[in-house]
Structure 1
Amino acid sequence: MHRSFARRSLLGAAAAAGAAALVAPLGGAAHAAAPGGRWPTRFLLPAGFRPEGITIGHSPCAYFGSLANGDVYKASLATGQGRIISTGPGTDNPTVGLKIDRAERRLFLAGGWGRAIRVADARSGALQKNFTGLGAENSMVNDVILTPEAAWFTDSYRPQLYRLALDRSGAPAGVPVTVPLGGDWAQGPDFTANGIERTPDGRALLVVNTFLDGGTLMRVDPGTAVARAVDLGGLKIPRGDGLLLLGRTLYVVQQALNQIDVIRLNDAGTRGTAVARITDDSFRIPTTAAAWGERIYLPNARFDVEPAPDTEYDVVSVPRV
């Protein structure tokens, strides 16, 4: 049975009305966020592409995964122009989350409900590894984060992560291992785990749990897989999707709410304080975020419309807090 990807994003959600490029400090007044530089702050993706994930390395280029067929699109941030660099496996085999390694040699791709993890050459797009048959029938390999030792992937429908060990060069070493989540992790009856990041000190993982206590950020010990709720001072992230950590500042994309919650974490990632909320008229259900310079780039997934071959999709950017 094929799932609608919109279903995993919009269960009971009503998209919030967009504000005009506002960065609102919590407890203070909002101010207009000025666009930076001459580079485009918005550019189009191919019609019908159905983006979800984004990754940016040390070069001013962004990579996007397609929910439609698993293609990977590379775009210049300076011009907004791009091309398909990697052809996906086809229908029902998407690319959801993706990350480029520090050497900008490899792309690690989460294969969604195709239950796959793929590794592609970041320059040519050639497929290097394809691990299939992960999890169980209802598994969905959603998002990915890279550490020096491993690539970690979330499974949105089962209480587990996947760990793909990396050798000293950053290449996959072996096959993905299923890591059951323990501690305070609570699995909902439907979609649960979403975005994944590292803590500021790099010693643990941060994972969105959209079910627990109305939407919770969880800190996961990578050695034991014990999960504990991060104290966010009452902030809920029911539509939390992509996570972006810059220093100790965590950007949480709340896609169906058309907002980014900005959180200041302690080094261990056990506590955080909400410091700002970013909204923008250009948000059309953004899902994930990546940074270049002083701007945050987000693909608009448009989960509120029925996808068609001619549906318009775009990428927008807002200033960093």
Structure 2
Amino acid sequence: MHRSFARRSFLAAGAAVSAGLATGTARAADSRTESGSWPTGFPLPGGFQPEGIAIGGAPYAYFGSLAGGDLYRASLATGAGAVVPSGLGAAHPTAGLKINDHGRLYLAGAASREIRVASVRGGRLRIERTYVVGSEGTMVNDVVLTPGAAWFTDSYKAQLYGVALGARGEPGQSWTLPLAGEWEQGPDFTANGIARTPDGRGLIVVNTVAGGGSLMRVEPRTGVARAVDLGGATVPNGDGILLLGRILYVAQQWQNAIDVFRLDAAGTRGVAVGRITDPRFRIPTTIAAYRDRLYLPNARFDVEAPTPETDYDAVAVPRL
């Protein structure tokens, strides 16, 4: 059995949490242009081990830490930010996350098996509700918000987790959706990023095993999955995905690239329309957008044993 790079990366991050986490404030890198535009890159705290990113309607990004579960809130206008303490500790990491219009953060708890719903008030993270899902070996990896539910992937089980959302995005009942149809569950790390289809009727999930790395369209009522026809293109290192209109951005972490596809309305077919690369990419994992930019944390999964001094950052690149 060959263990995937992605699985080794998560295991390495988990093994390194005992090294500790810097909880100071990182100063903005002086990466602004002479025209005074917003920075195209900024530092994250040493040892933070970022994986997910969320940006809402305001120009602030939230980053989740695999090494302790804290969040880091950064201003996109200046690049300055600070850790938002959660007090949860190394047993409660944060992988993917999303923020809704009411300021609630939905956090994927990785190997803790937790789904956490939180808000940031008074400079601290307040956990409103926690769900424990799956079973031994579960890894809650990424999340997407739809009008009626928050959906989470499990990288080691052929299932998704749903949390019902109220009128103001408040969390309700949770449930498990087994995956069927063409879903191929590998012996190792399989599901990764998740997004909605352009018509809003289905879900798109990265499957790192099927077809050498593919996108699967999942019917949210039945769990039936069908491979998205990408015209022969594959996403073997696909991690976080972001849908803007009909354009789907796929972070190909170990390729240090973002592959870009134009989907049909139902999300059954896609055409590759471009690739974004940048010399500053150091294994970017997830993507969020603000105005005409994409923002990505560099997870640096190639660092096998991160320390509190290991440097991390986030970068911004133009949207296609």
TM-score by length of 2: 0.88
1:78 equivalent to 2:77? Answer yes
Unpaired runs of 5+ residues, structure 2, are 12-32
Structure 2 distance, partners of 1:151, 1:37, is 38
In structure 1, the residue corresponding to 2:171 is in which secondary structure?
coil
1:165 equivalent to 2:164? Answer yes
User: What is residue 126 of structure 1 aligned with on the other side?
Assistant: 126
Unpaired runs of 5+ residues, structure 1, are 12-33
Q: Residue 4 of structure 1: CA displacement?
A: 11
String of CA shifts for 1:135-165, please: whole Å, max 9, x gaps. 1111100000011111000000000000111
Contact map agreement 1:113 1:139 (CA 8 A) in 2: yes
Ranked by relative contact order (alpha carbons within 8 Å, sequence separation 6 or more), the top structure is 1
In structure 1, the residue corresponding to 2:254 is in which secondary structure?
helix
User: What is residue 20 of structure 1 aligned with on the other side?
Assistant: none
Contact map agreement 2:6 2:189 (CA 8 A) in 1: no
User: What is residue 182 of structure 1 aligned with on the other side?
Assistant: 180
1:282 equivalent to 2:280? Answer yes
After superposition, the CA RMSD in angstroms is 2.0
**Structure 1 counterpart of 2:127, one-letter code:** L
String of CA shifts for 1:43-85, please: whole Å, max 9, x gaps. 0001000000001001100000000000011100001111122
Structure 1 distance, partners of 2:146, 2:63, is 20
Q: Residue 86 of structure 1: CA displacement?
A: 3.9
Q: Residue 168 of structure 1: CA displacement?
A: 1.6
Contact map agreement 1:265 1:273 (CA 8 A) in 2: yes
1:234 equivalent to 2:232? Answer yes
Contact map agreement 2:7 2:189 (CA 8 A) in 1: no
In structure 2, the residue corresponding to 1:126 is in which secondary structure?
strand
Structure 1 distance, partners of 2:274, 2:121, is 36
User: What is residue 154 of structure 2 aligned with on the other side?
Assistant: 155
1:141 equivalent to 2:140? Answer yes
User: What is residue 43 of structure 1 aligned with on the other side?
Assistant: 42
Structure 2 distance, partners of 1:35, 1:275, is 32
Q: Residue 196 of structure 1: CA displacement?
A: 0.2
Bigger drift between 296-305 and 165-174 goes to: 165-174
1:248 equivalent to 2:246? Answer yes
Structure 2 distance, partners of 1:309, 1:187, is 35
CA distance 1:248–1:8, shift in 2 (3 Å): farther
**Structure 1 counterpart of 2:86, one-letter code:** T
String of CA shifts for 1:22-49, please: whole Å, max 9, x gaps. xxxxxxxxxxxx9996111010001000
Q: Residue 122 of structure 1: CA displacement?
A: 3.8
In structure 2, the residue corresponding to 1:173 is in which secondary structure?
strand
Structure 2 distance, partners of 1:43, 1:5, is 26
Q: Residue 102 of structure 1: CA displacement?
A: 2.1
Contact map agreement 2:212 2:236 (CA 8 A) in 1: yes
Q: Residue 178 of structure 1: CA displacement?
A: 1.1
- Match for residue 199 of structure 2 among 186, 201, 204: 201
Structure 1 distance, partners of 2:315, 2:216, is 28
User: What is residue 106 of structure 1 aligned with on the other side?
Assistant: 104
Contact map agreement 1:290 1:297 (CA 8 A) in 2: yes
Structure 2 distance, partners of 1:169, 1:282, is 38
Bigger drift between 253-262 and 121-130 goes to: 121-130
Q: Across the two proteins, how many residue pairs are aligned to each other?
A: 294
Identity score, percent: 63
In structure 1, the residue corresponding to 2:113 is in which secondary structure?
coil
